[in-house]
Amino acid sequence: MDRELLLELGCEEIPASWLPTLTNQVGETLAAQLRERRLAPETAVETFSTPRRLMVRIERIPERQTDLEEVLNGPPVSASFMADGAPTPAAAGFAAKQGVEVSALERVKTPKGEYLAFRKRVRGKTAVDVLPDALGGTLRALTFPKLMRWDAMLEDGKGELLFGRPIRWILYTYGGRVVPFTISRTPGAQTGQVQDVSAGAVTYGHRFLTTSGRAGRAIKVRSFDEYRARLLENFVILERAERHNKIARELDAKAQRLQGRVSRMLHHDSGLLLEVPDLVEYPAVIAGTFAREFLDLPEEVLTTTLIHHQHYFPVEGEDGKLKEAFLAVINIEPDNERLIARNAERVVTARLRDAQFFWEADRKSTLASRVERLSTLTFHKKLGSYKAKAERIEKLARWIAKEALGASGQVAEQAALAARLSKVDLATDMVREFPELQGVMGGVYARADGQPEEVWKAIYHHYLPIGVEADAPPTKATLGKAAVTWAAVSLADKLDTLVGMFVAGEKPTGSRDPFGLRRAAQGVVKILADYPQVHLDRLLQEAGAAHGAGSEELARVSDFLWDRNEHLYEQRGAHADEIRVIRSDKWKLNDTIAARVAELRRVRNSAQFRALASLFKRVKNITSGVSDDGRELTALKGALKEPAELALADAMIERAAVFERAVAAKHFGEAIDRIAELYPFVDDFFKGVLVMTDEVALREARLMLLAHLYRQIRQNIGDISEMAPEAK
């Protein structure tokens, strides 16, 4: 405890989605501020959080800063002394600036010569003197998705303090003693309710629960153990994992009493169990019910109402069907559980009645009859309405299904129909009220309209995938026989958005991506990895035609997609340099990317391949701007004369047919092995041949030979110079 540092920032409720990142960030930031001030923590940094607090505990930090020693260089020795040894004005001035005599200066040798220098030693300040600045730096350095102005400022000369939520108290102690620190009220504060916030040795318990005295009263603490124990006495569970486990246990117990279990929908739909521990400080679970008639609503509507809108847990029976019950996590120990449950039931019932009304109203018309309504909804001011978008992706989806995926005409028409109907749910009352169901409700309504599985599933899942993981939904088992129509519609929608937005000048920046283009790009590369026969360059040409996209714009989209493609293969175990090897040809051989990466990984540690990669880097540099003009190697050989260059030409001619057959058959392992066999010939060439000879014709022939080698390797395997070992 003697050297224990405690920091608690008590705030107004922090959004649950912010807390996981902030919990890590506050500890890392404080530790970085301490290290910057030569007060590095001597033990691990522990962090905790609840909706109302961010807490850092460091069991031991130094009592004072480490001493600072730095060498300050002065004038050169040659300019520091006169012939008789007396110091020059330059030397005397430097010494006076440091407050010492010239005799106290040292001589140091540098690459530029010998200089006079002064070794400055500064004794470290005590921890208590440094810690206020460390906290100020931490508050300034913390980042939030959104910042608030709350009439607060620090006395650090930087003015107003913006923060994610207003800070209401600060617990800041070192060795059990308060570290002085104050957040001041700005002079221009509009209300007297804003007061200075000064650090103390107190924390605050639950807002409404208490074992004695007044709820939410100040609690004095001196150590972390006392802090944690006193919070628990006042109904605050500090450890997030403990709150999570308490919630999970009570959810299971309550569900069993209802003769059911927590809906499996939660495992792949919402992550609600990961979110609710950050909504409460002292969780408890209550059970509620709703009218059986609401079970006639689509399951997607029921679960969205309960999970996304109320943060409640649906309950299902052993048969997997939803029951007319839900579980709610509350932030209070209930005296009258039934009363609290009734209030929750009223809210759920009202939401479900709204959903029931929208469902019945929407079902009076088919999806197909609503297509014209899309003309009233703007997709983008430069790209027209959603009706125009639907028409574009209808045409593109038909082409993708038939030409890129090789589907039958019937399947292509099903993909076109799904694309035409994919955005219609935007014109329904249900999606206007529940925007989270966009796409999903289109599939539900199409299913209710009697559309075949190939159509309604393509609509239902067309916004997916949103990640590049191999198991990112939807799975092939989920799609069933709708896999091809889904892939066509999903690709068409995402490519139309990407190309259209780039043409409209909406390329995302490092901090802005309002149209979700990165997510769309991730979906595209995930589908292409799963359907490798599809070539993106052809897709981009088709998608670009509808927008009048030029080659430069399509190239930018291709580069943007390739960045995501690199991420995909890195996620699947590839090295970055292996991906860069094949980036040179990008999507020309899309169906061979995975195979080429696998073979490159196999040979990457081969001494022969590594040596060839180094030589290929030299070939690449020397042939920059040189073309082989399509000349045959046999014809080129007649212009050569040195044994080493003739041997290289013979080796290339001998292996050319085998190499080309292997590439054509997609036997990339064999092709790479044949290429690696060229190493000794290339090595002998560079050792025994002067490429840049004065004989013009001979020089051109040698450059063309190397250009031929470069083109042959690069176009069929990739730019293997990317895997060349770093020069030492």
Q: Which pLDDT belongs to residue 133?
A: 95
Q: Which pLDDT belongs to residue 494?
A: 97
More confident: 401 or 577 = 401
> What does the alpha-carbon distance between residue 714 and residue 444 come to, in Å, rounded to a whole number?
49
Q: Which pLDDT belongs to residue 270?
A: 54
Residue 596 has pLDDT above 90, yes or no: no
> What does the alpha-carbon distance between residue 286 and residue 288 come to, in Å, rounded to a whole number?
7
Residue 585 has pLDDT above 50, yes or no: yes
Q: Which run of H or of E encompasses 600?
A: helix 593-603
Residue 587 has pLDDT above 50, yes or no: no
Residue 215 has pLDDT above 70, yes or no: yes
Closest CA relative to residue 237, chosen from 55, 20, 5, 9: 55
**DSSP secondary structure string for all residues of 163-183:** BSS-EEEEEEEETTEEPP-EE
More confident: 12 or 598 = 12
Q: Which pLDDT belongs to residue 269?
A: 45
Contact criterion met (CB below 8 Å) for 437 and 304: yes
Which residues, at least 6 apart from 109, have a Cβ–Cβ distance to it below 8 Å? Answer: none
Residue 109: is it exposed, middle or buried by C-beta count within 10 angstroms (0-12/13-18/19+)? exposed
Residue 268 has pLDDT above 50, yes or no: no
Contact criterion met (CB below 8 Å) for 303 and 348: no
The three-state secondary structure class of 261 is: strand
Please list the residues that pair with 174 across neighbouring strands: 5, 177
> What does the alpha-carbon distance between residue 233 and residue 73 come to, in Å, rounded to a whole number?
60
Length of the chain: 728
Q: Which pLDDT belongs to residue 727?
A: 58
Mean pLDDT, the chain, whole residue set: 90
Q: What percent of the chain has pLDDT over 70?
A: 97
State mean pLDDT over 229-245.
95
> What does the alpha-carbon distance between residue 675 and residue 677 come to, in Å, rounded to a whole number?
5
Q: Which pLDDT belongs to residue 630?
A: 67
Q: Which pLDDT belongs to residue 584?
A: 62
**DSSP secondary structure string for all residues of 106-162:** EEEEETTEEEEEEEEEEPPPBHHHHHHHHHHHHHHH---SS-B--SEE-SSSS-B--
Cis peptide bond N-terminal to 465, omega within 30: yes
> What does the alpha-carbon distance between residue 524 and residue 565 come to, in Å, rounded to a whole number?
9
Residue 624 has pLDDT above 50, yes or no: yes
Q: Which pLDDT belongs to residue 590?
A: 59
State mean pLDDT over 267-286.
84
Q: Which pLDDT belongs to residue 239?
A: 96
Q: What is the pLDDT of residues 85-139, one digit of tens each?
A: 888 888 889 888 888 888 888 888 888 888 888 888 778 889 999 999 999 999 9
State mean pLDDT over 55-81.
88
State mean pLDDT over 565-574.
84
State mean pLDDT over 38-55.
96
Closest CA relative to residue 111, chosen from 79, 141, 76, 152: 76
pLDDT band at 1 (very low <50, low <70, confident <90, very high): low
CB atoms within 10 A of CB 625: 6
State mean pLDDT over 502-526.
90
Q: What is the pLDDT of residues 518-546, one digit of tens each?
A: 999 999 999 998 888 888 888 999 999 99
Contact criterion met (CB below 8 Å) for 459 and 489: yes
State mean pLDDT over 315-327.
93
Q: What percent of the chain has pLDDT over 90?
A: 60
